[in-house]
Amino acid sequence: MDQEAVKQEVWSTVQILNRLWAVENKADGLAKYFHEKMVAITPSDRLRREGREACVAGWKTFTEAATIHYWKELDPLIEVFGGGKFAVVTYYFDMAVDMGGETVRLEGRDMFSLVKEDGKWLVVCDQFSPFPQG
């Protein structure tokens, strides 16, 4: 598979998993896309989340606490390494949610690391954060 096709396959995986939690409200479905040893660094957790179950639980907690009005991924950059077996995906996001009785717009950046195992792309690491203030 050529490099551009691999990049499209990786980006498609990220878009599918984002649709699960952000559009379809099916955070439990993320387990199919999260590696069993996944780690996540989030702005709401002091410590990293370790393992598939902990990561799915984090996304599920968010979707249960918020009503998502829209979700957009912007300006993706996909880099592939290790002979097409490892990828890093970065993009910016824009979303609006109802939380705590008010509508809030959230904007920031996200970085996923994925590995291809048994013919399938799995997230091994995610780090996301809001844009810096100012």
Which stretches does DSSP call E strand in the chain? Answer: 34-41, 49-50, 67-81, 86-99, 102-117, 120-130
This prediction's pTM: 0.94
Tens of pLDDT along 51-86? 999 999 999 999 999 999 999 999 999 999 999 999
Q: How many CB atoms are closer than 10 A to CB 45? A: 11
pLDDT (tens digit per residue) in 99-127: 989 999 999 999 999 999 999 999 999 99
- Residue 48: predicted pLDDT: 97
So what's the architecture of 3-129 in CATH? Answer: Roll (3.10)
pLDDT beyond 80 at 1? no
pLDDT at 134: 73
pLDDT digit string (tens) for 7-28?
A: 999 999 999 999 999 999 999 9
* Structure confidence at residue 113 (pLDDT): 99
Residue 15 is predicted with a pLDDT of 98
Q: Which residues on neighbouring strands pair with residue 80, listed in sequence order?
A: 87
Residue spans per domain, the chain:
3-129
Distances (CA, A) of 127 to 3, 101, 114, 118: 24, 27, 12, 24
The predicted pLDDT at position 123 comes to 99
What pLDDT digit, counting tens, does each position of 35-47 carry?
Answer: 999 999 999 899 9
85 Cα distance to chain centroid:
18
62 vs 8, 72, 77, 84, CA distance in Å? 28, 17, 25, 32
Tokens of 55: 């990561």
Query: What is the amino acid identity at position 82?
Result: G
* C-alpha angle 97-111-121 in degrees, rounded to nearest 5: 105
